[in-house]
Amino acid sequence: MAEEGSGSGCEGRRVGVAVDFSPCSRKALKWAMDNLLRKGDHLILITVRHEGEYESGEVQLWEDTGSPLIPFCDFSNPDIMKKYGVMPDAETLELVNLAAKENGVLPILKIYWGDPREKICEAVEKIPLSCLVIGNRGLGKIQRVFLGSVSNHVVNNASCPVTVVH
């Protein structure tokens, strides 16, 4: 898959879904499967590990650029994913496998390390994505002020259409 503009055709959109393997991100993935994905699309799962959640070593090679694009056959393999420090849960993997079979999409994973707000917006630009679906943890107004909202930041700063799934 070339990492250049998405072209003018309808086939082969790059549909991004931000995942942290939580129930919220699984809801976003399920919503994308039910409402957005169509045959020939690329399903690109974007996950971000927070700074300080990884050890020095191979991962530091990709700290600035993100991991290489990881095909489903690799990111469903726990032995391969150990080197990235990411362990997708069985429920998410089942949904991705279902999307590949039922929707005829090509699932890929891209891992970034750092601030999720910044790295998800970076992924939108660098991959580039046609659209993005992201879950929302449902923070209250006070929590958003102190913790910040990843989905709010992405909606306001991403250069593609963003759908927030509550």
Q: What is the pTM for the complete model shown?
A: 0.85
pLDDT at 117: 92
pLDDT at 142: 55
* pLDDT band with cut points at 50, 70 and 90 for residue 166: confident
Q: Among positive and negative, which fits the CA dihedral 91, 92, 96, 99?
A: positive
Domain boundaries, the chain: 14-165
**CATH H-level superfamily of 14-165:** HUPs (3.40.50.620)
CA distance 32 to 99: 9
pLDDT at 51: 64
What is the average pLDDT across 20-38?
94
Q: Among positive and negative, which fits the CA dihedral 65, 70, 76, 81?
A: negative
What is the average pLDDT across 137-141?
58
CA distance 48 to 46: 7
Which among 86, 93, 85, 95 has a CA at the least distance from the CA of 27? 95
What is the average pLDDT across 32-44?
95
